[in-house]
């Protein structure tokens, strides 16, 4: 999360809303560990990563929905070993990502 702080601070200083997507669980091989975070600004900027690029676009879209007033949500992404190299998570694992609007008072 430390690497996100400059971006988060800038977004908040500009008055933008921010969503945080956090890896909350992994199963089998996963591209990023539990605790990895992707920050998304209402203006469309990204900082950090939850999957080393595998599902960032989908998580970005979910974060924009949350920023537009949608409820926080837990998402699961994964793929079978047979499909692993075609789409989704190339590692063949699964990740759960929790996406919620950040409250500026809860950020470091």
Residue with tokens 């960032």: 56
Sorted by where each begins, the domain ranges of the chain are 2-103
Average pLDDT, the chain: 84
Strands 94-101 and 73-78 come out as antiparallel
Sequence-separated (6 or more) residues with CB below 8 Å from residue 16: 41, 42, 43
pLDDT of 48-92, one tens digit each? Answer: 999 877 788 999 999 999 999 999 999 998 765 554 455 454 556
The predicted model gives 35-47 an average pLDDT of: 95
User: Which is higher by pLDDT, 85 or 12?
Assistant: 12
Which position has the token pair 């996100």? 4
Q: What is the pLDDT of residue 104?
A: 65
Identify the residue with better confidence: 96 or 104: 96
């Amino acid at each position: 999360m430390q690497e996100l702080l400059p971006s988060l601070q800038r977004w908040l200083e500009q008055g933008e809303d921010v969503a945080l997507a956090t890896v909350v669980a992994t199963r089998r091989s996963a591209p990023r560990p539990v605790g990895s975070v992707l920050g998304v600004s209402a203006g469309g900027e990204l900082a950090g990563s939850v999957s080393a690029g595998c599902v960032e676009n989908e998580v970005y879209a979910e974060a924009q929905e949350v920023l537009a007033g949608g409820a926080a949500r837990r998402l699961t992404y994964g793929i079978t070993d047979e499909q692993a190299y075609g789409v989704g998570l190339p590692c063949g694992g699964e990740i759960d990502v929790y996406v919620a609007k950040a409250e500026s008072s809860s950020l470091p």
